[in-house]
Amino acid sequence: MSDELTQGATPAAPPVLSHLVYLDVDDEITSAAARIRSTEANRITLVLPYGSRLATSRINFRLLAREAAARGKRLDIVCADASARALAAAAGLPVHASVAAFEAHGAPGAEGETDGTEPSGTNGSGTQAVGGAASQRSLPELADDDTATRVITAPRRTSPKVPLVGPARPPVPPRVAVGVGLGVLAAVVIFGLLAAQLLPSATIVLHPRSADLGPLQLTVEARAVVTAPDATNLVIPAQRFTFPLEASNTFPATGTKVLQAKATGNVTFSNFDTGSANRIDAGSIVKTRSDIEFATLATVTLPNATIQFPFTIVPSTSTVGVEAVLTGPEGNVGNNTIVVIPKGENKRLLKVTNVEATSGGAHEERIVV
């Protein structure tokens, strides 16, 4: 009976004690927490690479520690970055510089081997059962905000010296160095002198020449009130002298002065057009039947003519001043002699005449000295 029970019973599988979880550089806190929840091992070791986003804040490690503690698991951090290890250690997590260091110091079976007595928490076979509640460090209270984290400076490991290959080169003696420097300086000076003597040179000869300036036209004023010459205002001192001067004689006059004037007067225009007004511009030419021309001095506008009962046309009239085109007495004409209207006007609808004679035209020659 006991044999049957022994043969039918299935031995229980040993619990998984430790599990390494390798994270990528871009893994976030949510991805790491999901890996912790999906792992069945009692001890989880997160291996972080250089530049991991997870290692940028201490609060991330605190959240991971709380997630592991809530599930009764122990959480270790393996990271080669000293600053990341400092953040994890500040969050209360065990840290290791490498996987080899973790396996040497923190792997299952390495801990708990003492003088033959089994420490509390062992499974009876000499191997310590790593439980989250027994081996996890006490976690500090999580702060509401991510406060500044002080990074613990890790001492720098000294690297071995690189061995020298071949014989050591002896140092240069100071005398040799000084001699070489003086030799280089002397060579530079010698080459400079040789260049000044051997390189081609040029000679430039300047021949100044004189040139006349001017004449300069200046207006210089002499004033009696000025005591010294003033080059800025072009003024020189002057002195007034008064002396009597008188001469008399009779000379024949040989000069001639010509006095000429144009005749002026007024003309009256009459508009017999009952349909429209007529405009006579200034400068319009009217003349006598003997072609003595006169120019109007202003612009006049003649309204249209009116019709009175029974069939009488009453023209509109306007008077304007005129001036003879040519000088001399020929422009002095009698009244009612300027009767030729300007060119382009209708002779049947427009009439012109001078009610009074024109006057003022003259041509006189006077003898002057």
HEC-encoded secondary structure of 223-270: ECCCCCCECCCCEEECCCCCCCCCCCCCCCCCEEEEEEECCEEEEEEE
Q: How far is CA 348 from CA 64, 271, 311, in A?
A: 124, 9, 17
- Burial classification of residue 295, based on how many CB atoms lie within 10 Å of its CB (0-12 exposed, 13-18 middle, 19 or more buried): middle
Asked whether the beta carbons of 305 and 272 are under 8 A apart, the reply is: yes
Lookup result for tokens 């009175």 = 308
Task: Give the separation between CA 333 and CA 338, rounded to whole angstroms.
Answer: 8
Residue 350 has pLDDT above 90, yes or no: yes
pLDDT value, residue 138: 42
Angle between helices 58-70 and 29-38 (to 10 degrees): 20
In this predicted structure, which of 3-17, 60-74, 241-255 has the lowest mean pLDDT? 3-17
pTM for the predicted model, two decimal places: 0.34
Q: At a CB cut-off of 8 Å and minimum separation 6, what does 330 contact?
A: 263, 292, 324, 361
Please state, rounded to an integer, the average pLDDT across all residues of the chain: 79
Of 354 and 204, the structure prediction assigns the larger pLDDT to: 354
Percent of the chain surpassing pLDDT 90? 32
Q: What confidence category does residue 332 fall into, taking pLDDT thresholds of 50, 70 and 90?
A: very high
Task: Give the separation between CA 307 and CA 305, rounded to whole angstroms.
Answer: 7
Residue 323 has pLDDT above 90, yes or no: yes
The model's pLDDT over 26-84, given as tens digits with 9 standing for 90+, comes to 888 888 888 888 888 888 888 999 888 888 888 988 999 998 899 888 889 999 899 88
Residue 320 has pLDDT above 70, yes or no: yes
Task: Give the separation between CA 311 and CA 275, rounded to whole angstroms.
Answer: 15
The model's pLDDT over 76-91, given as tens digits with 9 standing for 90+, comes to 999 989 988 999 999 8
pLDDT value, residue 36: 87
Right CATH number for 258-366 from 1.10.3470, 2.40.30, 2.120.10, 3.90.480?
2.40.30
State the first-to-last Cα distance of the chain, in angstroms, to the nearest integer.
Answer: 181
The model's pLDDT over 90-138, given as tens digits with 9 standing for 90+, comes to 988 999 888 888 888 755 433 333 333 333 333 333 333 333 333 344 4
Q: What confidence category does residue 248 fall into, taking pLDDT thresholds of 50, 70 and 90?
A: confident
Domain chopping of the chain, boundaries: 13-118+125-135, 258-366
Task: Give the separation between CA 359 and CA 202, rounded to whole angstroms.
Answer: 91
Lookup result for tokens 């002080």 = 150
Q: At a CB cut-off of 8 Å and minimum separation 6, what does 281 contact?
A: 296, 299
Residue 142 has pLDDT above 50, yes or no: no
